[in-house]
Amino acid sequence: MNDLSVLVVEDDASVRNLMTMTLHAHQYRYRTAEDGESAILALTSHSPDVVLLDLGLPDMDGVDIIRRLRTWSDMPVIVISARSDDADKITALDAGADDYLTKPFSVDELLARLRVVQRRLARLLPDNEPVFTNGALEIDYGAAEVRMAGRVIALTPNEYKLLCLFAKNVGRVLTHTYITDRIWGNSLDSDVATLRVFMASLRKKMENEPSQPKLFQTHVGIGYRMNKL
């Protein structure tokens, strides 16, 4: 199974089926959305790694989705659209799209664009380095040791797992569902309540002013983000 998770936002059933068949054949994990509202719901609920986004959706323009997404996430967006004018491409890229693929497109080209995203995301993973740093925070993966300004911080196993998850996604808002699925394997209401307790504990241990956190940012009703310091 491919580690990259993809959200396909496309209202044309034939194009959507082509993309999902391609993703399935190459073992990508994927979800689909047929309009803007369901796309935004999927983005906030499931935090995919990359979005394949059509611009001409029935309820809103794809550019508006990009602008809304960029208020809380930097996840890669590949636009796949029949709009071929340079002005349309510039508008989408200026709004925050990472790439632009014009319909009709070849399957090989789509896969190549996804591989580019995958390589870029791989370079961002802190696991590629023995020590992750963000401001005064250091995570020594080999020793499973966490330090703030050189001082060792004692964390429980779940607190450490939670911190490493944030370290792999610096600057990205992680939804409650995304976090609890990866830490506890499910997303029950009780898990979300437990997550709040763990976040309060992490802030108490790692923030100079837990009541005014700088490292961990809360997005009310959505989730949390580790800020780049």
* pLDDT, the chain, mean: 87
Confidence of residue 186 (pLDDT cuts 50, 70, 90): low
What are φ and ψ of residue 102, in 5° steps?
Answer: -95, 135
Instruction: Examine the pLDDT at 196 and tell me if it is beyond 80.
Output: yes
Q: Could you give the residue ranges of the DSSP H alpha helices within 11-106?
A: 13-25, 36-46, 62-69, 86-95
- Using one digit for the tens of pLDDT, what is the confidence trace for 133-166? 999 999 998 888 999 999 999 988 889 989 999 9
**Are residues 177 and 111 located together in one domain of the fold?**
no
Confidence of residue 210 (pLDDT cuts 50, 70, 90): confident
Instruction: Examine the pLDDT at 106 and tell me if it is beyond 70.
Output: yes
Confidence of residue 53 (pLDDT cuts 50, 70, 90): very high
**Are residues 134 and 111 located together in one domain of the fold?**
no
**Are residues 135 and 109 located together in one domain of the fold?**
no
Instruction: Examine the pLDDT at 181 and tell me if it is beyond 70.
Output: yes
By the 10 Å C-beta count (0-12 exposed, 13-18 middle, 19+ buried), 185 is classed as: exposed
Instruction: Tell me the CATH number at 188.
Output: 1.10.10.10
For residue 220, the enclosing domain spans 127-226
